[in-house]
Structure 1
Amino acid sequence: MTNGPTNSIPRFTRHLTPGIFAPVPTFFVSESEDLDLQTLGTHVVRLARAGVRPLIAGTMGEGLHLAHGERASLVRSARNALDAEGFLDVPIIVGTGGGSTRETVIFCEEAATAGADAVIVITPGYFAGVLANHRRALKAFYVEVAEKSALPVLIYNYPGASAGIDLDSDLIVDLAAACPNITGVKLTCGSVGKLTRIANAVADPAFGKEHPRKNPEAGFLVLGGYADFITSSAFVQGHGAITGLANIAPYASVKLFELSEAATKDPSILPEAQRLQGVLARADFTIAKASISGTKFLTEKLFGYGGSPRRPLPPIDPEDAERLLEHPHVQELIKTERGFGEKLIH
C-alpha cells in the first residue's frame, strides 16, 4: 500500500465497513518477550478466513506495553501475512492512543507509514482528575488528532482503561459532526442506550448530507465493544462489534452479525439470531473476566498458540485456566464454533 503525506488520506485505503473486528492479542516469544510476528501472521489470517478484520495494538494487544517501533512491526507483519494469503482488501486498524495529544499524533503518523488503514484512539486517562469533567479539553483532543491524522480515526470509549472517563453520546455525536476524519466509535462502556442514541443520530440522512466524512466512501460506524449485544445493535442501526471473543470464535461471531442483520428484514430469522446471541453473550461474560491472559490461554488450547502477556501482567493461574476451559459457557461456545466448521485442537 502506498501512503500519501501525513496530512492527507492515503491514496489507496481499505474502507471500514460494518461487521466484526477482533482486537488481536500481541504474541510474545517465551522468556525474552520479543514480538512473535510469525504467530501474529497466523492468527490474523485465521481471522480473515472467517470474515473478521484485525485491530492491532489495542487493549487486548497490550498497546500500552509496546514501543513505537514494535507497533509498526506488528502492522507490517499483519499486512504482509494477509496479502500473502490473498486478503488484500482486509483493512487493519491500529491502536494509537498515547499519553498526550502530541504522542498520539506521532503514533498515528507511524501507523500510516507502516501500512495501516485506520486508527483507534482511546481517551488519555492519566490526568483524569482534570479531563473527566472538561468537555472542551476532551473535544479538543479528538479534534486535533483527527485533523492531523493521515488515517481515519475511531473514538475508543473505554472508561475501564481511561481512569473512568466516559464520553457521553452528545459529545460523541458532536465530534462526529465536527470532525470529518472521525469514522466511528467503539463503545466498550457497554451502554446499549448510548449506542442507540449515536446510531440513531448518524443514521439520519440529514446527518450524512450536513456532515460528510473526509473519505466519501466511508461512513460513521457505531460499534459495540463486546459480543453480547450484537443482535440488539442491529435493530437500532448499529454496525457490529470490535470484540475480543472473535479471537476465540470468529466464525460464530460473524454468523451472529449476519443473522442479526438479516433478522431486521426477515423476522423469521430472529429466533436463531437470539439463540446464537445467548451463546456468545454467556461466553463473553465468562471469558472477559479472565482478561488478556485468559484469551491467550484459550487460543493456546484451541489453536496451538497463545503464550503469556508481557510483564507485569501475569499469566492465568493454572487452576483458573482449567476452570475457564471447562466452564459450561466456554464449552458451549467451543461446540458452536466447531459446528461452523472451525478445526479446533481441544
Structure 2
Amino acid sequence: MTTTNGTTNGSAAPHRLWANGPSVPLTTPFVAGGEEVDHEALAKQVVRIAKAGLGIVLLGTTGEASHMSHSERKAATATARKALDDAGLTDVPLCVGTGGGSLKTTIELCNDAAEAGASHCIVICPGYFSFAMGRDKTAILGFFKGVFDRSPLPVMIYNFPGAASGIDLNSDDISELAEHPNCFGVKLTCGAVGKGQRIATYTQTPEYLARRGNSLKASTVTGQFQVLPGFSESLLPTLLGRHTGCITGTGGIIPKTVRKLYDTAVKGLQGDSKALSEAVDLQEKVAAADWISIKTGVQGTKYALDTYIEKNLGGDWRSPLGPLTPAVKEMIDVDLKPFMEFEASL
C-alpha cells in the first residue's frame, strides 16, 4: 500500500467527544526488518479496534513512537484518520501521542497531529534531563502548561514514570494541571489506584465542574475529565474508585472481552448484582491476560496479533527492542490461549 504523505485530509475535528470507556494504545506495524511503517496493516488495526467499541490511542509506548521520525508519525496519523473515515467511523476520536524531548518539539508534534486528522493528543513528560529537573515541579508543571497553552488539540497527561526516567506526578500536581481548559484527562501508567481516585474525586466535585464549565466556553475540550489507568488488570476496582475507563494494550489482543468487562462493570456498579458478579469473573480473566501482555511486551502483542488475528497485522518492531524469545512465544501460545478462545466466543 502506498504510504500517505502525512498532509491533512481536512477531517480534524476537535469537537469529537472523548467518551468514557476502554481505549487501546495500538502497535505500529513495521514491515520485516522494521524499516518502514506498514500503513495497510495499521489501517486494519484501527478499524478493528474502533468496531469493537474501544477508543483509539495512536503512537504511544506500545506504538513505538520514540522509534519514529516526525514525518512517520504524521503519516501514521493520517492513515489512521483516513481508515476511520473510509469505514464510516467519522465520529470516532483519534488520540495521538505527541510527546517530545522539549516543549518546542512537543508543540511541533501536536501541530503535525492536528494537521493529519487527530482530534486529541497525549503527552508524556520529557525524561532525558530527569537528573536535572526530575524533582523540579515548577519546570515539570510549566512544561505541561506550556503544551496546554499552545497545542491546537485537547491534551491528555501521560504519567508513566518507567518511560520518563522516573518522573512521577502526584495527585496534587495532576489536579492543578486539570484546571487548565485544554487538558482533558490523565493516563496513569504508574499503578497508583489511590492517586487516580483522588484525582477523579477532585475533578467530579460540583465546584470543579462549575469552573470547568465556565472555562470551556473558549476551549475545545468536551466531556468528563478522563482519569484512566494504563492497565485493564484493575478496571473494575478503579471504576469503583471513580475512574472513567482505561487505556490498555491488552485490549489490542482481546478487545471484545475488555469492552464486555467495562459495560458489565458499569451495569454492576449501578446496582445490578448479577452483572457485578459477572464483572468479577471477567476481571479475573482480564487481569490474568493483562499480566501476560505486560510480561511479553510489544513483541508479544505483535506476535499474538500476527498469529491469532491476521498475518502481519502486528508486524515487526524496531531496534533496540530485542528478538522474540521462545519464552515469550510460549506465554502467548500456551498461557494466553484460553483468553483468546474466550474472545472468539463473544
Question: Once structures 1 and 2 are overlaid, which stretch shifts more, 282-291 or 152-161?
Answer: 282-291
Q: Is the 8 A contact 1:187 1:223 kept in 2?
A: yes
Q: Corresponding residue for 2:324?
A: 316
Q: Which amino acid aligns with 1:325?
A: I
In structure 2, relative to structure 1, the CA distance for the partners of 1:266 and 1:322 (3 Å cut) is same
Q: Is the 8 A contact 1:249 1:337 kept in 2?
A: yes
In structure 2, relative to structure 1, the CA distance for the partners of 1:322 and 1:252 (3 Å cut) is same
Following the alignment from structure 2 to structure 1, what is the Cα–Cα distance between the partners of residues 129 and 135?
11
**Structure 1 residue corresponding to 2:283, chosen from 274, 277, 281:** 277
Superposition CA RMSD, Å:
1.5
Question: Once structures 1 and 2 are overlaid, which stretch shifts more, 287-296 or 24-33?
Answer: 24-33
State whether structure 2 residue 338 is matched by structure 1 residue 332.
Answer: yes
Question: Once structures 1 and 2 are overlaid, which stretch shifts more, 31-40 or 179-188?
Answer: 31-40
Q: Which amino acid aligns with 1:202?
A: T
Q: Report 1:1-346 matches (<5 A).
A: 2=10, 13-31=15-33, 33-177=35-179, 179-212=180-213, 213=216, 214-215=219-220, 217-268=222-273, 269-304=275-310, 305=312, 306-317=314-325, 319-328=326-335, 330-340=336-346
Q: Corresponding residue for 2:5?
A: none
Q: Which amino acid aligns with 1:285?
A: W
Q: Which amino acid aligns with 1:321?
A: V
Q: Is the 8 A contact 2:14 2:120 kept in 1?
A: no
Following the alignment from structure 1 to structure 2, what is the Cα–Cα distance between the partners of residues 175 and 127?
21
**Runs of 5+ consecutive residues of structure 2 not aligned to the other structure:** 1-8
Per-residue deviation at 1:171? 0.3
Per-residue deviation at 1:38? 0.2
Q: Which amino acid aligns with 2:329?
A: E
Q: Which amino acid aligns with 2:286?
A: L
Following the alignment from structure 1 to structure 2, what is the Cα–Cα distance between the partners of residues 32 and 26?
10
Compare relative contact order (CA 8 Å, sep 6+) and give the higher one, 1 or 2. 2
Q: Which amino acid aligns with 1:40?
A: L
**Residue 22 of structure 1 aligns to a residue in which SS?**
strand
Count matched residues: 331
Per-residue deviation at 1:12? 5.0
Q: Corresponding residue for 2:6?
A: none
Per-residue deviation at 1:32? 5.7
Q: Which amino acid aligns with 1:26?
A: T
Deviations 1:46-78 (A, max 9, x none): 111100121111000000011111111111111
Q: Is the 8 A contact 1:308 1:315 kept in 2?
A: no
**Residue 48 of structure 1 aligns to a residue in which SS?**
helix
Of all paired residues, the percent bearing the same amino acid is 37
**Residue 203 of structure 1 aligns to a residue in which SS?**
coil
Q: Which amino acid aligns with 1:195?
A: G
Q: Is the 8 A contact 1:308 1:314 kept in 2?
A: no
Q: Is the 8 A contact 2:184 2:221 kept in 1?
A: no
In structure 2, relative to structure 1, the CA distance for the partners of 1:206 and 1:119 (3 Å cut) is same
Per-residue deviation at 1:264? 1.4
Following the alignment from structure 2 to structure 1, what is the Cα–Cα distance between the partners of residues 43 and 149?
31
Deviations 1:65-95 (A, max 9, x none): 1111111111111111111111111111110
Per-residue deviation at 1:322? 2.9
Per-residue deviation at 1:280? 0.5
Following the alignment from structure 1 to structure 2, what is the Cα–Cα distance between the partners of residues 12 and 101?
21
Q: Is the 8 A contact 2:33 2:318 kept in 1?
A: no
Following the alignment from structure 1 to structure 2, what is the Cα–Cα distance between the partners of residues 339 and 63?
33
Following the alignment from structure 1 to structure 2, what is the Cα–Cα distance between the partners of residues 107 and 296?
25
**Residue 271 of structure 1 aligns to a residue in which SS?**
helix
Per-residue deviation at 1:14? 1.4
Per-residue deviation at 1:13? 2.9
Q: Is the 8 A contact 1:157 1:187 kept in 2?
A: yes
Per-residue deviation at 1:16? 0.8
**Residue 211 of structure 1 aligns to a residue in which SS?**
helix
